[in-house]
Amino acid sequence: MMRAIHRVASLFGLGMLALLSAAGPPRSQEAGPAEFTFGLFGDLAYTAPEEPLLENVLSDLNRHLAFVVHIGDLGHPRAGSCTDELWTRRIAQFSASANPLIYTPGDNDWTDCHAEEGFPGGNPLERLSALRARFFASEQSFGRRSIGLTHQSSVDANFAKYRENVRWDVGGITFLTLHVVGSNNGLGRTAEGDAEFAERNSADLAWLSAGFEHARIRGSRAVLIAQQANIFPAFSPFPGNPRQEPSGFAELREALGIEAAAFGKPVVLVHGDSHYFRLDKPFMRRPPQTPTAENFTRVEVFGSPYHHWVEVKVSAEDSNVFAFHQRLVPANMLSNKQR
């Protein structure tokens, strides 16, 4: 199966090469500043009392940033993350952002919208369809100042429903989102869910391959991928059962390691899911992960009950391209509240 997926992804990459070649010669750097700053956050407001804490984070993000990425989980199913009411509130908050805001779904936004997770009568696949219609109808990001996004659905008719997978370029760096969610990526609960996983996994693998091909053609100096799920069970903390088989992350993890090693320049994966802020190098552990990709960095954002965000500074002089800084929101510090 993995070989078949790689063949599809390779064909997709060749198609993208032809399209980009027809559009003109490769560019070494996308229009935009070589130095800029952006923000990362997600996995917040899991209870009603935490809603003001999310507002504090959003307010703190309203500084001058190139863009902001929300890596999924609009809340918790028990606190309304599966409901149209909460979605309306989040869309209003995202739209009010002073900066362009890109959102990629989390498991609490549709995969876990069922009785076992506290949403009686819920249908995850119905919620997924509704989520796409509500959050991914536009060609632009959210925010009072928006940026244009390239959607997988717009460049490959084989994946026409995957409007949530997007790509954009700033300052010679390629950014992309993948729809990869916690709860084992939706695999292993129902037959319908397994079928949805198989199709979405193929779309994610193709979009990952296309993103790296795009970066190579354009001469991008780095690639950053944003998704919700933690795909590295070998490193605790890991949400759920790290030994669950079959794994909903194994193929993607393998493909990511291969692509990153082949690219050679800095590659970053940003995710949430474990609610544990960290910065590490999971592809430098052998075995079982091969090949080693020393140029690959994993960043996990803060998550409930810790309501903060991650600032990323891009430098023209830094060979690592990215520098990551924790931004602790003073009003949200639990240590202050406990005094």
Half-sphere exposure of 71 (CA within 13 A, CB side): 30
Let me know if residue 29 belongs to a domain.
Answer: no
Let me know if residue 87 belongs to a domain.
Answer: yes
- Residue 336 has what pLDDT? 67
The answer to whether 109 touches 73, Cβ cutoff 8 Å, is yes
- Residue 334 has what pLDDT? 87
Residues sharing a CB contact under 8 Å with residue 338, sequence separation 6 or more, in sequence order = none
Q: Domain containing 285: what range?
A: 2-21+36-337
Let me know if residue 40 belongs to a domain.
Answer: yes
**In which residue are the tokens 């709860």 written?**
183
The answer to whether 298 touches 279, Cβ cutoff 8 Å, is yes
Let me know if residue 263 belongs to a domain.
Answer: yes
- Residue 252 has what pLDDT? 97
Report pLDDT digits (tens) over 86-103.
Answer: 999 999 999 999 999 999
Q: Exposed (0-12), middle (13-18) or buried (19+): which is 120, by Cβ within 10 Å?
A: exposed
Report pLDDT digits (tens) over 154-164.
Answer: 999 999 999 99
Cβ-count burial 176-212 (b if 16+ within 10 Å, e if not) = bbbbbbbbbbbbbbeeebeebbeebbbbbbbbbbbbb
In order along the chain (339 residues), what is the average pLDDT of each group of 10 residues?
Answer: 43 41 37 86 98 98 98 97 97 98 98 94 96 97 98 96 98 98 96 97 98 98 98 94 93 96 97 98 73 93 98 95 98 76
CA distances from residue 284 to 103, 113, 168, 252, 281 in whole angstroms, order as listed:
29, 36, 28, 17, 6
Query: Taking the mean position of all CA atoms in its chain, how far away is CA 102?
Result: 9
DSSP letter, residue 313: E
Let me know if residue 28 belongs to a domain.
Answer: no
DSSP letters for 58-82: HHHH-SS-S-EEE-S--S-GGGTTT
If you average pLDDT over every residue of the chain, what do you get? 90
Let me know if residue 251 belongs to a domain.
Answer: yes
**In which residue are the tokens 């779309």 written?**
203
Q: What are the two backbone dihedrals, phi and then psi, of residue 38, each rounded to the nearest 5 degrees? A: -140, 170
Instruction: Give the 3-state secondary structure of residue 218.
Output: helix
**In which residue are the tokens 């009603």 written?**
48
Beta strand extents in 231-276 (DSSP E only): 267-271
Single-letter amino acid, residue 53: L
Single-letter amino acid, residue 87: W
Let me know if residue 237 belongs to a domain.
Answer: yes
How far is it, in rounded angstroms, from Cα 179 to Cα 72? 9
Count of the separate structural domains present in the chain: 1
Half-sphere exposure of 274 (CA within 13 A, CB side): 22
- Residue 281 has what pLDDT? 96
Cα–Cα nearest to 223, from 184, 261, 272: 261
Report pLDDT digits (tens) over 26-83.
Answer: 333 345 688 999 999 999 999 999 999 999 999 999 999 999 999 999 999 999 999 9
Let me know if residue 92 belongs to a domain.
Answer: yes
Beta strands 68-70 and 101-103 are: parallel
Which domain CATH number covers 95? Answer: 3.60.21.10
CA distances from residue 297 to 194, 231, 271, 282, 320 in whole angstroms, order as listed:
30, 13, 11, 7, 10
- Residue 34 has what pLDDT? 87
